[in-house]
Amino acid sequence: MMRMNLTRRIWLSFLSLLVLVGLSMIIIYPISIQGTLTEETYRIIEQQQRQLVNPFSEQFSPPDPDEALIEPSSRAVGHIFVADQVGAPRVLEEIPEELVEAYQEMFAQAFEQESETGRYEFTYQDSTVFYVVTRIDASEDDEVDEAYYISFMWDAYRDSMVNQLWENLVYLMLITSALSLLPVLWLTRYLRKPLRLLGNHFEQIAKRNWKDSFHWEGDEDFQKLSDQFELMRQNLIRYDDAQKTFMQHASHELKTPITVVKTYAQSVKDGVLPKNTVEESMDVILQESDRMDKRVKDMLYFTKLGNLKKETINLEALSFGALAYELEERYRLQRDDLNFIVEGAAIRFQGDPEHIQILLENLIENALRYAKSTIWIRAEQTDHDVTLIVENDGKAIAEDDMRTMFEPFRKGNKGQFGLGLAIVRQITELHRGRHGVFNINGRVSFQMTLPRRT
């Protein structure tokens, strides 16, 4: 497919429109205007014929023979009176020899006519003759069976009108085409400037240079386009900043355990035991390796969630009780001084089993670090939603911290990696849900509301 820039497309559209209009005029206009002028020709003939006097009345005077000798180039209306009397037709006018054939054609049509009046046409010597035949009351003349007025007109009038209209139309098309160039030139100039500026900004963004803002004032559509471009630019800046921040935090989170492992390994190699025994020193290396392994897995999982779409999660029917009791049993071993209370075990909902389990795990692990005596794992439901809630009786969260604690790498005073709650937020949003944290009746309550879909 041939590629064209905007200017060429505008000109091509303009020329195509002109060609389309021209073809329409060439095809439709002649048919329409010719039919209209033919009707007008018959109307003129009939109008003049009605002014004629009945030839059988005393006021009748025969038409001037010259009226019957109308040249094909004439625009006048000619009249002939013909009577079908006993023996042979009678014509009041003298018929010139060169027009006998034409008049005989009209006479024959008149005598065959059954109606009071009729419209006819025929071609004679490359010209068209339009004529109207009207039956006349011949009761006053015993010798006449039927009588007719034949009024005719050559096509010179119609053709001259068509030619004149065509000439006017050509002039009109030329003037219209010339005047149409002005809005086309204006439109080309009007569209080129903002699109060129927008293209330059896109080129800068392709080079990762998104510092310059772009805003167009004037046309509402271009202004909306510039606002959308500016929103995209700001999102790219935020994404770039978040990516840099992620890399900085990831490097920082991995630096500490790597440093510990490296230091302990070098010390053991040099024969200096950081701990009392080799086993204790190796335990520290293993613990730091496990921490590093968990951090890497969390970062990979966080990145994976960012690339998922809502349509790709695997929705299944889940039992809240089955998930909650399994996690309660697992985490009770970590802090046997805490009470775990499960509520709403009978509630069922739809969700991705892997993601929902990780969501509850991160919420419970967060609660383990702050709870004093009790952790509540419960679910509440409405007709359309189910809310998964994990609460602890630890210290209330400050209002400023509530607004940022679901952001990546936002750690509390006892936090570890700063990705747990960020992962919870992403899982909730993947399920088209809402996340929140509240201080309620001496408890810190993390609430994730998901659609039930059942």
294-335 pLDDT per residue, tens: 777 777 777 777 666 655 778 889 999 999 999 998 888 888
Torsion over CA: 362, 368, 372, 375 (sign): positive
Residues 125-134, mean pLDDT to the nearest whole number:
83
Q: Which residues make Cβ contacts (< 8 Å) with residue 91, sequence separation at least 6?
A: 80, 81, 82, 83, 103, 107
Q: Tell the residue number behind the tokens 């001037």, with chain if given.
A: 64
pLDDT score of 449 more than 90: yes
Residue 453, phi-psi category: left (phi > 0), alpha (psi -120 to 50), beta (remainder): left
At 30 the pLDDT is 63
pLDDT score of 253 more than 70: no
pLDDT score of 448 more than 90: yes
| Sheet-wide strand order for 434-440 | 339-343, 374-381, 385-392, 443-451, 434-440
pLDDT score of 412 more than 80: no
Tell me how far apart the alpha carbons of residues 155 and 67 are, in angstroms, rounded to a whole number: 16
pLDDT score of 139 more than 70: no
pLDDT score of 258 more than 70: yes
What's the pTM value of the predicted model, to 2 decimals? Answer: 0.48
Q: Which CATH number fits domain 220-305: 3.50.50.60, 3.40.50.1220, 3.40.50.980, 1.10.287.130?
A: 1.10.287.130
Tell me the range of 67-81, 167-181, 402-416 where mean pLDDT is highest: 167-181
Tell me how far apart the alpha carbons of residues 272 and 278 are, in angstroms, rounded to a whole number: 9
What φ, ψ does residue 259 adopt, rounded to 5°?
-65, -45
Q: Which CATH number fits domain 313-451: 3.30.565.10, 3.40.190.290, 3.40.50.300, 3.40.710.10?
A: 3.30.565.10
At 232 the pLDDT is 80
- What is the percent of the chain with per-residue pLDDT over 90, rounded to a whole number? 14
- β-strand partners of 437: 446
Minimal CA–CA distance to 425: which of 413, 441, 409, 443?
409
Tell me the range of 6-20, 23-37, 229-243, 368-382 where mean pLDDT is highest: 368-382
At 225 the pLDDT is 74
Tell me how far apart the alpha carbons of residues 399 and 178 are, in angstroms, rounded to a whole number: 69
- Which pLDDT tens digit goes with each residue over 31-41? 667 777 788 88
Tell me how far apart the alpha carbons of residues 80 and 91 are, in angstroms, rounded to a whole number: 8
